[in-house]
Amino acid sequence: MNETQVLERRNSLGEDSKIKMPVSPKTEHWKEFVCGGGSAFCNILISYPLNKLIFRQMMHGVEATLALNQLQREGLGYLYRGMLPPLLQRLTDSQRPKYREDYRFEKAFNSFYKLHTATNWNNAHIRCQAEGSVLMVPETLDEADAMPLLITSTLTRYEGVFVGIHDLYSQRFFVTITGSKLRDSILDLLWEAEEPGINAGRCVAMRRNGRFYVKPCSKRLPFICKTKAARVSYYQECDTYDPRWKPGYNGSCYIVHAEAQTWHQAHGTCLSAGGYLAILDNRDEAEYIREQFKNVDQIKTPGDFAFLGFSDLFQVYHYRTVHGDPINKLLDWDLKCPQPDKKGISIDRCGGIRRSGLLATADCGSPAIFFCEKPIKGTYKFQSLRHGATHNHHKGITQIIKAEEKNYFLFVLLLYLLYRSIGN
């Protein structure tokens, strides 16, 4: 039917019989938004006091009646003080920005977070930097109140987590790792005491109630790394979100760490960045690393040695890579042999490369620059012991158990409904 026939058809039917065009879905979008926002508001308004009550029990370890009395004394204003972030999170329907899967995204603060196992404050700072993030510093009181939810699982064994605040520059003058002073800021309200003691410690941690306290930097605590979603950028050339990775030899990407670390620290730093300490497969790759070594400023970074991914930590003079493979026999070594100590055991246990491109060894505990390597696509992942025939077998058993539990639940529900119908 052409356009002329359609017009004649409409005229013959009259004005009252005109074909009604469907309403565009866009005209109904605001109604869906209001309905979704209203339901989210009602849900949070009703469930928020209960969640606060449960959280207060977890945080202070008190009974429900005592926690309820605390909330009643504080009043409704204090009760609903943190309602805005979860409400905004429900109202916004944006997807999770693309970033590392091991980081947790919180839309209320537009940031990514990752909880790490315990270490000292200095290593925590280095580890976050290796991942392209920073040691977490809350920007608002609401963010500080939300952090205990992220760290609850670890606080059964530890009293708190390290945050990016310290007074290493000047005692009792606390600053963040970005150089902002804590005094006279809104975060200064989060101290559990009015003012930290003089000899109480040099680094800051956060307890389960969201309050700051001082902790010696050498002690071990879990820590949180944080990065703002607005600062995340994707770099296609190395399939990464870290701009330090640069494409190099034979389908690999590399990072040259000019800030010296011990071999063990360097190993952890490379793993956190999604790679491993660089491994030389042949002379061509050794030549590439040598050329990169030339670009390292000898004035800012003195020395002619850099760590690579091999050592003889398992057996003296039996060098193996961090993947467990032997060193390529075609690679050239420095003629200088490892020097033994008084007991006849070599103290040069960890391997690396000199500026000349020759392999050499050095003391694992002496800081040196190092090279990280990763595949040009994705990140390096150690082979998991779980992903095998045994894992698949256990996975199948788990699915069977879940199906049986579901059938049992439906059976009990059916009996209950049958009982109610007979009783009525």
> Among 56-60, 63-67, 223-227, which is the least confidently predicted range?
56-60
Q: Which two tokens stand for residue 246?
A: 């640069």
Question: Helices (H), strands (E): how many in the chain?
Answer: 9, 16
Judge whether 176 and 164 are in contact, CB under 8 Å. Answer: yes
Task: Report the alpha-carbon distance of residue 288 to residue 360 in Å, rounded.
Answer: 17
Whole-number average pLDDT of the chain? 78
Please give the single-letter amino acid code of residue 392. N
Structure confidence at residue 92 (pLDDT): 57
pLDDT, average across residues 222-251: 92
Q: Report how far Cα 393 is from the mean position of its chain's Cα atoms.
A: 31
Task: Report the alpha-carbon distance of residue 305 to residue 263 in Å, rounded.
Answer: 12
CA angle 390, 395, 396 (to 5 degrees): 100
> Among 21-35, 187-201, 312-326, which is the least confidently predicted range?
21-35
Q: Which residue has the higher pLDDT, 167 or 338?
A: 167
Between the CA atoms of 206, 210, 211 and 213, what dihedral angle is there, to the nearest 10 degrees? Answer: -10
Structure confidence at residue 232 (pLDDT): 92
Buried/exposed code over 299-326 (b: 16+ C-beta within 10 A; e: otherwise):
eeeeeebbbbbbbbeeeeeebbbbeeee
DSSP structural state of residue 340: B
Q: Report how far Cα 298 is from the mean position of its chain's Cα atoms.
A: 34
Structure confidence at residue 25 (pLDDT): 43
Q: What is the pLDDT of residues 339-368, one digit of tens each?
A: 555 555 556 689 999 998 999 999 999 999
Structure confidence at residue 69 (pLDDT): 80
Band of pLDDT at residue 80, cut at 50, 70 and 90: low
DSSP structural state of residue 83: -
Structure confidence at residue 299 (pLDDT): 67
Structure confidence at residue 82 (pLDDT): 64
Structure confidence at residue 186 (pLDDT): 82
Torsion sign over Cα 256, 125, 123, 184: positive
Judge whether 345 and 316 are in contact, CB under 8 Å. Answer: yes
**pLDDT exceeds 60 at position 319:** yes
**pLDDT exceeds 50 at position 2:** no
DSSP string, 186-238: GGGGGBSSSS--TTS-SEEEE-TTS-EEEE-TTS-EEEEEEEEGGG---BGGG
Buried/exposed code over 232-256 (b: 16+ C-beta within 10 A; e: otherwise):
beeeeebbbbbebbeebbeebbbbb
Q: Which two tokens stand for residue 85?
A: 């972030």
Q: What is the pLDDT of residues 361-398, one digit of tens each?
A: 999 999 999 999 999 988 876 554 444 444 444 455 45
Structure confidence at residue 149 (pLDDT): 72
**pLDDT exceeds 50 at position 58:** yes
Band of pLDDT at residue 101, cut at 50, 70 and 90: confident
Task: Report the alpha-carbon distance of residue 200 to residue 174 in Å, rounded.
Answer: 13
**pLDDT exceeds 70 at position 32:** no
Kindly give the pairing relationship between strand 350-354 and strand 320-321: unpaired
> Among 75-89, 243-257, 274-288, 349-363, which is the least confidently predicted range?
75-89
Q: Which residue has the higher pLDDT, 152 or 15?
A: 152
166 Cβ contact list (under 8 Å, min separation 6): 121, 174, 175, 177, 202, 203, 204, 217
For the chain, state the CA radius of gyration: 30
> Among 64-78, 191-205, 235-249, 280-294, which is the least confidently predicted range?
191-205
Task: Report the alpha-carbon distance of residue 49 to residue 51 in Å, rounded.
Answer: 5
pLDDT, average across residues 82-97: 64
Whole-model pTM above 0.85?
A: no
